[in-house]
Structure 1
């Protein structure tokens, strides 16, 4: 189990030194995995703990409110993913006005040196930080030479000539290119979470659903999908899922609703992970519930056919993002 901290102040979790990796890490895609993997290898060579620093909310979410960019992964799933990558200490720093106002040099001295006793710092080549994005790799290298740590910037990871990035993953998902997103992520795109109680409208329509909230964040795609649900039993369960705001019933908050085929049981409070296989259609607003039910029948039949055509139920996950 990794140690978690949220603030720059307080006692040092790594008084004898550490290897530190910094980034937003939205999605924990192949580029993130490569960066963390290199830092982890160095930490093990030096006999030091690996610290990964990220931010919540993400800086872009903070600056672009109230219209933030789409979010790939929620905080609990990010923590679980970092634990799966064998990170020893996770710093999920509160990105607030105080953090925004902090000069890059103060960030280095207060956090990297005073709190974490960093011996090495690993970042992406275009990493920027501090007030008005005044810090970069060159500043880290200069300050590290004075304060006793080395800085390494890992080259970009590319696939088929495209940079592996959170932006590329968001674009693939927005365009319903789920196979391409899976290549960039190194695993199928999934949304994990705890099943919450909804209005139980699906049950009255003959389609009971397991409902997962998206934490008030903006999801990277909307629509109706063929999906696998992990976490109910030993094998993933075929399902059809809706991700969006449910315009026919005037929904507001983004909600993930998964209808598990041939299942009858109570899933409230259970932690599940919904794996997206194929998009069936966009969200639509129907004239009434009968028209909605007819479309749900068609969606279910299509999802069943797609999932039945696959060689096996679900895909192997190279990185577990199921929340602990």
Structure 2
């Protein structure tokens, strides 16, 4: 996959089959669009491509909105590359870009710069200043500028459409099963292992503190069963998101206890995949009660079928 940032022209030799959007999460709805892109590009001798933006437009329009994302930019690149996509165009969502009308966006970006010949958009996609661009505008402009456009239906999960917002909501409730099913893969966190307060080691549960990107969405506070990937090893772990209220902690931390593992991994990159929810964050009356719960969590994690 060729990644082009803040382009002024297309780097592809062939015209494109393209879709536009944030693709936060690269969930099953996004994956259905990408699958169609890949089919169309092969059928019409085009190159499949996604145009996405950074930062998220919501952070520009609502700077006080503390939006957290399902993917870091590197995670998004990795997931899109895995999908078989040929091009990823990353456009900075700056003042000039946000002021383009829908028609200007089509002419300047899609036609002049990206040579789009086939466009696929989601069921609710809008673009351009004041959302002046939509599917009807694209259908109107397509014949004049030589591109075809089609709109894909939403992918449903239970009784609602899959969306990045629905997945964020599920994670905020600790509903890992629903989030993973809508994503089509296991939600993950990664970062470097940093020094913490080292309280866990004093009670027989040493943890690795993970430094997570500040824009990355954390599931609700509590304890989780996770896969752990560190130093080319795949292990089981139980992860805590919270402030450690039993020992009067006051800052949020992400810590993972790795089963059957005692190596020094400070400074190493670590990745965890969420597999199940154990319980909400609990303030225990004493350390003995905390250890009893940790013992039970460890048993549940060890017995969990990965």
Q: Is the shorter-chain TM-score for this pair beyond 0.5, marking a shared fold? A: yes
Contact 1:30 1:157 in 2 (8 A): yes
Q: Deviations over 1:132-186 (max 9, x none)?
A: 1111111122222211111111011112332111122122222222112222111
- Determine which structure has the larger strand proportion and give its number: 2
Contact 2:201 2:207 in 1 (8 A): no
Whether 2:111 is the aligned partner of 1:113: answer yes
Whether 2:249 is the aligned partner of 1:249: answer yes
Larger CA deviation: 206-215 vs 36-45: 206-215
Whether 2:217 is the aligned partner of 1:223: answer no
1:186 corresponds to which residue? 184
Change in 2 beyond 3 A, CA 1:148/1:210: farther
Q: Deviations over 1:249-301 (max 9, x none)?
A: 332xx6432221221123344443212233333345689xxx4x546524432
Shift of 1:245: 5.5
Shift of 1:200: 5.0
Larger CA deviation: 296-305 vs 129-138: 296-305
Shift of 1:80: 0.4
Contact 2:223 2:281 in 1 (8 A): no
Change in 2 beyond 3 A, CA 1:260/1:46: same
Change in 2 beyond 3 A, CA 1:269/1:54: farther
Whether 2:5 is the aligned partner of 1:6: answer yes
Larger CA deviation: 202-211 vs 15-24: 202-211
- When the two chains are superposed, the root-mean-square deviation of aligned CA atoms in Å is 2.5
Whether 2:302 is the aligned partner of 1:303: answer no
Give the counterpart of 1:195 among 178, 183, 192: 192
Instruction: Considering Cα pairs closer than 8 Å and 6+ residues apart, tell me whether 1 or 2 has the greater RCO.
Output: 1
Q: Tell me, what secondary structure is at the counterpart of 1:242?
A: strand
Shift of 1:229: 3.1
Whole-Å Cα distance in 1 between the matches of residues 187 and 108 of structure 2?
36
Whole-Å Cα distance in 1 between the matches of residues 219 and 101 of structure 2?
35
Q: Tell me, what secondary structure is at the counterpart of 1:213?
A: strand
Structure 2: gaps of 5 or more residues: none
Whole-Å Cα distance in 2 between the matches of residues 99 and 297 of structure 1?
54
Whole-Å Cα distance in 2 between the matches of residues 38 and 255 of structure 1?
40
